[in-house]
Amino acid sequence: MIIRLYTGENGQACFEDLNIPGDDTQVVDLEPGADMTFRRFPDGHFSDWHNAPRLQYVIVLVGRMEIGVGDGAKRILDPGDILQVEDVTGQGHTTRSLGQRVVASVPLVSNSA
């Protein structure tokens, strides 16, 4: 499953569950010249309210991460889970590491471009 994180009409981040495409192959348009980024976070690392720096996938490789949104909802992502991050405006979200965490970020092309 892919979890979409986006800014709702009220300016707060929201979750939506998306299905992984059923086709054998799916191509995702990446931002030209953008690189995949790997980041490591220590256990308990907390990022207070912030927006995504760009449209991107965040793929959990090691550890677990907790994402919080404005209405108090939280989601926990495990290794292999994918977060489709779109909340580049509004209140944003919080992030907490549950154990040491390693993620890969993959930029996406904006649909409005």
CATH number at residue 41: 2.60.120.10
Nearest Cα to Cα of residue 89 among 32, 18, 34, 10? 10
Q: Residue 49 carries which side chain, given as an amino acid letter? A: W
Task: Identify whether 28 is part of a domain.
Answer: no
Does 113 fall in a domain?
no
Q: Which two tokens stand for residue 17?
A: 């569950």
Residue 60 counted as domain residue: yes
pTM confidence score: 0.82
Q: Considering the chain, what is the average pLDDT of its residues? A: 89
CB 59 within 8 A of CB 104: yes
Confidence of residue 25 (pLDDT cuts 50, 70, 90): low
Residue 24 has pLDDT above 60, yes or no: yes
Characterize the bridge pairing of strands 2-7 and 13-18: antiparallel
Q: What is the number of domains present in the chain?
A: 1
Over residues 48-89, the pLDDT tens digits come to 999 999 999 999 999 999 999 999 999 999 999 999 999 999
Q: Identify the DSSP state of 63.
A: E
Provide the pLDDT for residue 91. Answer: 95
* More confident of the two residues 9 and 30: 9
- Residue 40 and residue 98: Cα distance in Å, rounded? 12
Domain that holds residue 92: 2-19+33-107
Ranges of H-type helices in 1-102: none
Note the pLDDT of residue 113: 42
At residue 108 the predicted structure's pLDDT band, cuts being 50, 70 and 90, is confident
Q: Is residue 12 assigned to a domain?
A: yes
- pLDDT of 34: 75
